[in-house]
A and B are shown apart, each in its own frame.
Chain A
Amino acid sequence: MALLLSLIVLLPLAGMLFLFAFGKRIGEPGAGIVATLTVGGSFLTAVVLALDFFTGSGATETARWFEWLPAFGVAAELRWDQLSALMTLVVTGVGSLIHLYSIGYMHGDARFGRFFTYMNLFIVSMLILVLANNFALMFVGWELVGLSSYLLISFWFERDTAAAAGKKAFVVNRVGDVGFIVALMLIFSVFGSLGFDTVFEGARFHLTEGMATAIGLLLLIGAAGKSAQLPLYVWLPDAMEGPTPVSALIHAATMVTAGVYMVARTGSIFELAPVAAATVAIVGAATALYAATIAIAQRDIKRVLAYSTISQLGYMFMGVGAAAYAAGVFHLMTHAFFKALLFLGAGSVIHGMADEQDMHRMGGLARRMPVTFATMAIAWLAISGIPPLAGFWSKDEILAAVFERGGSWKILWGVGLVTVLLTAFYMTRMMWLTFFGEPRWEAGLEPRESPRIMTIPLLALAILSVVGGLVNTPFKLTLEHFLDPVFEGLRLVHAPGGSVAWILAGVSVAAGIIGIGAAIMRYRGPVPAESGPGWRLLGNGYYVDDLYAGVFARGGKLGAAWLAFRFDARGIDGAVEGVGALTRRVGGWLRPLQTGFVRSYGLAIVAGAVGLLAWFLSRGAF
């Protein structure tokens, strides 16, 4: 058991080390096949291990590797329970599909082997994050996914924009990490340990509400950094500079959901801090609406999807903030399916269009790329919340659970509902600009369907996007009961049943259909110009990037310049030189004592001896 559990992490790790050493030598497509097989093997191992959970006979297992930091009460130890099992299945399952797709997408790249080394590194890091049995090991995974994200965003580092985007992602993530680290310090100061069992079982006895709120809010900062929530979302749209499979795997399906996973995992802390939990939900709702409005006006197909991801992550935060952890994790799972599919489809389009990403120069691709179109259409309907596709069930469950909390939570439900409409609108806009209407691409370009190695993952993800939602319907809450043991003892919020459920579902489906209809009406004819001041405001993301660049980046640079050229030159150097000058001056005063006359030294010695003698005699020491 422990061996198999370790194998889940060790397989991709072995693949990574092997590719690190020999990736360049075995080249294309061997490196990709090795990477895909190791991740696929890890997935199969996870399936075998998870079988006990599916039959209901499984119990939480751990695999201890070695004593690591005894002072913090932590060992390098993996934890296998229903939540980590689900996350592992999503990461390795979607991960192996995307690895397979990458073999086709990265065809001909000069650093083919290195790409798969990094991809496997990411899988290892993410598995450490979700399988860790204590906060310290989780933090190791947390940082490692940040590192692999950085390496993959700036994979094409010859492009300045890609290098800058990687740097930006790294720096913004670091801001969030500060919150996470301080939260860990507080947790350690209260519990004297960072082990999950100690903390979660002792939370209700040792945590005051104030301390729980502080820890919760700090964890939220960390989660907002990793999961691209307000106000730390700015790195994610830029992260689209990386290769598209990276965007699909890391910046849509897995890594960015780490914040959601972390809040769900620490549910027993958030339960004691209603203010912090409500803040999580509010941040989520605000981000969902905010990012959806920006997504409407993007011309780059990948940036539409990036803002869409931010918006959907907002839904998940709403869910876990409302203590509907199963709903949040459920949406995490379905979103991984249809958003990965959307990204891979977009990658297929970009591939076919010879690296064109501007949707205004696409159009009419449906007939050229039938498989890409059909699979993306499924994802489009899924994210728009059309039943019975995956997105409908999970999004609806979050909205219903938030509605169920009552009171001012209904405002958040309203925000979520508006976001449903906007989501349907911008996704339909994207579909129409890309696949319908007159071709607007440059003459001479002959878009063609991508090779089969890329379309097979699309088909697999399309099937998952259709049936993935059926694991947790209001009629049969399989996933929710599956996760029950993890959240045992917590006051959970469940979606309402009966007629309320039908009405809520009807309202959100109606919102989705209105959004789709409005977009079709607008984009079925010639493409509108979309160049007014409003479009510019949204297209530039409310100029928040410029604001951050002007305030934080410029401020930071000015501060650093002051430190380097003023404080260092005058302050530090001044202190060092001041000590030197002082020594020199005191030496100057003392110089005349050194006369060079032996006899004056002799006189001083005699005088000293006589003085000592007089002193001893006066004390009567003899």
Chain B
Amino acid sequence: MTVTPGWYMALAAFLFVIGTGGILLRRNALVMFMSVELMLNAVNLTFVAAGRELNVLDGQVSVFFVMVVAAAEVVVGLAIIVAVFRKRQTASVDELAELRG
């Protein structure tokens, strides 16, 4: 059985849905963060697969950009979460609802 790009796409969609579900269902900010990473990497997978299939480098270049930006985002995001946890002794996003209108 050969592995066609369709498999990669299906796997990416599966990972993306898991990430989306994690964001919508989990309350812990740290876990939501991991879900976001999952979604980003699902997209990366589609880029790499499509790039290889079409025999161009654009997909892999895009992945590098996404990884770099995601790493930066993680640094900022984790710092915020740690700071909030120190102050509030909780990481539950439902309790962090001060910006309600």
Contacts and interface: CB of A to CB of B under 8 A. Distances in A.
A592 B25 CA distance: 22
Contact of B24 (A591, A593, A594, A606): A606
Given A597-B93, A598-B93, A603 B24 contact: yes
B63 interface: no
A596 interface: yes
A598 B96 contact: yes
A595 B27 CA distance: 15
A263 to B, nearest CB: 73
A594 B100 contact: yes
A603 B93 CA distance: 14
Contacts of A594: 99-101
Contacts of B99: 594, 596
Contact of B98 (A591, A592, A596, A599): A596
A602 interface: yes
B101 A591 contact: yes
A596 B97 CA distance: 4
B93 A592 contact: no
A594 B99 CA distance: 7
Contact of B100 (A590, A596, A602, A606): A596
B66 interface: no
A602 B23 contact: yes
Interface in B6-58: 20, 23-25, 27, 32
Interface string A579-622: 00000000000111111111100110010000000000000000
Contacts of B23: 599, 602
Interface in A283-311: none
A599 B24 contact: yes
A289 B20 CA distance: 100
Given A591-B101, A593-B101, A594-B99, A599 B94 contact: yes
A475 B23 CA distance: 115
| Best-buried of A592, A593, A596, A603 by chain B (most CB within 10 Å) | A596
Contacts of B94: 597, 599
| Chain B contact patch, size range | 10 to 19
A591 B94 CA distance: 18
A603 B100 CA distance: 16
A584 to B, nearest CB: 13
A602 B25 CA distance: 10
A592 B100 CA distance: 8
A613 B96 CA distance: 31
Interface in A347-381: none
Contacts of A606: 20, 24
Nearest to B36: A602
A596 B99 CA distance: 5
Interface string B81-101: 000000000000110111111
A602 B98 contact: no
Nearest to A588: B101
Contacts of B101: 590-596
Contacts of A597: 93-94, 97, 100
Contacts of B24: 599, 602-603, 606
A409 to B, nearest CB: 84
A183 B93 CA distance: 76
B39 to A, nearest CB: 11
A421 to B, nearest CB: 90
Nearest to A603: B24
A593 B32 CA distance: 22
A593 B25 CA distance: 20
Nearest to B94: A597
A143 to B, nearest CB: 60
A594 B20 CA distance: 21
Contacts of A590: 101
Contacts of A599: 23-25, 27, 93-94
B92 to A, nearest CB: 10
A593 B100 CA distance: 9
Nearest to B101: A594
B98 to A, nearest CB: 6
Nearest to B27: A599
A602 B101 CA distance: 17
Interface in A540-598: 590-598
A603 B32 CA distance: 13
Interface in A503-531: none
A595 B93 contact: no
B85 to A, nearest CB: 15
Contacts of A592: 101
A579 B93 CA distance: 37
Contacts of B97: 595-597
27 contacts: A590-B101, A591-B101, A592-B101, A593-B101, A594-B99, A594-B100, A595-B97, A595-B100, A595-B101, A596-B98, A596-B99, A596-B100, A597-B93, A597-B94, A597-B97, A597-B100, A598-B32, A598-B96, A599-B23, A599-B24, A599-B25, A599-B93, A599-B94, A602-B23, A602-B24, A603-B24, A606-B20
Closest 9 CB pairs of A and B: A594-B101, A596-B100, A596-B97, A591-B101, A598-B93, A596-B99, A602-B23, A597-B97, A595-B100
Given A596-B100, A597-B97, 7 more contacts: A590-B101, A591-B101, A595-B101, A598-B32, A598-B93, A602-B23, A606-B20
